[in-house]
Every structure is written in C-alpha cells, then in structure tokens.
Amino acid sequence: MDYSKITDDLFIGTTPTVPDYEHLRELGVRLVINMRWEFRPPPDLYDPPLHFLWQRTFDSPLFPIPMQALQRGARAALETIREGGKVYVHCAAGRHRGVAMGSAVLIAQGYDAHEAMKLIMERRMVADPHIFYIRNRILRFAREWSEWNGGKSIRDTDLTDASRTDSV
C-alpha cells in the first residue's frame, strides 16, 4: 500500500489489502473510501472494524465520476472526521479518482478547489488532478457543493453551530 498524508485527517493512496488494515487503524483511519469499480473491499473482521464506502467509478473520460458519488463520499468523510476519525481514499494508483474524492473532502472542509488540488499535488507526487476529466469533476463538485450547502463550508457551519451554543 502506497499512500500520502494530505492533512491530519486525510490520506490518499493505492488499494489496501487486508494485512494493511492494521496499519490503517494505527494511523487512526476509520473510513476507507474505495473509488474502484472492480474491487469490492474485503471485510475487516477486527472489532471495531474499519468502515468502507465503495464508490464504483471508472478512471475514464467516457464515464465521469458521478457528482452523487463525490457528495456521498464527502459527507461520509466529514461525519467520520467530526467524530474524531481519519479517512483513507483510494483508487488503483492514487492518481485520479482517489485524488478527485480527496479534493471533494477538502472542498467540503472549506478549501478552495484550486487550493485542494495544489495541496494534494504537493503531498502526493503521482497525483494528477489537472487531467481534464478529473479537473472538470473537481471544479464542478466545488460549485455544486457550495449550492447544496447555501454557500457555506463545513467550517462556516461549525462556527455557526458553536456560536449558537455559546449564546444559549
């Protein structure tokens, strides 16, 4: 398993095998987002098990990553991070689909799309978010995420919720 730490809460890499699950737990990972069509993640028999979200996608300009898949993954990642866990996102090489999903997670956390892509490229040398069919998905996700959430990032929401609690 080849992976890169993008932030304290997010890792992007290649497909983990069952023996890699222990290392993922040591990193604090609680959610694994699998962006591969062809490989169902084997179950984790450890208690408590890692949680898996299988987003069946192709690495092809002919089959764009569905916005619903990026939204579902970003929401699951935010929930995991909010509960103190970390997220591992993967595709075959951690180069395209995993990078798109990782970018979606960062955007949901409040990063600008271009900042998210730049950070991932700085931390994961094989990452290629600028290939046209991945970049288009990331930029579209950023626009739609803002619309879905009334222009607020998760950081804005957290601050708003915290201010409500302080004033009560």
Whether pTM exceeds 0.85 = yes
Cα–Cα dist 153/145, whole Å: 8
pLDDT mean by block of 10 residues, the chain; 168 residues: 97 95 96 92 85 94 96 97 97 96 97 97 97 96 88 49 35
Neighbours of 51 (CB within 10 A): 17
Domain interval for residue 107: 3-167
Cα–Cα dist 12/101, whole Å: 9
Contacts of 45 (CB under 8 A, 6+ apart): none
Q: By the 8 A CB rule, do 64 and 136 touch?
A: yes
Cα–Cα dist 30/168, whole Å: 33
In this prediction, residue 45 carries a pLDDT of 85
Structure tokens at 118: 């730049």
Q: What CATH number did the domain enclosing 123 receive?
A: 3.90.190.10
In this prediction, residue 160 carries a pLDDT of 37
Q: By the 8 A CB rule, do 55 and 73 touch?
A: yes
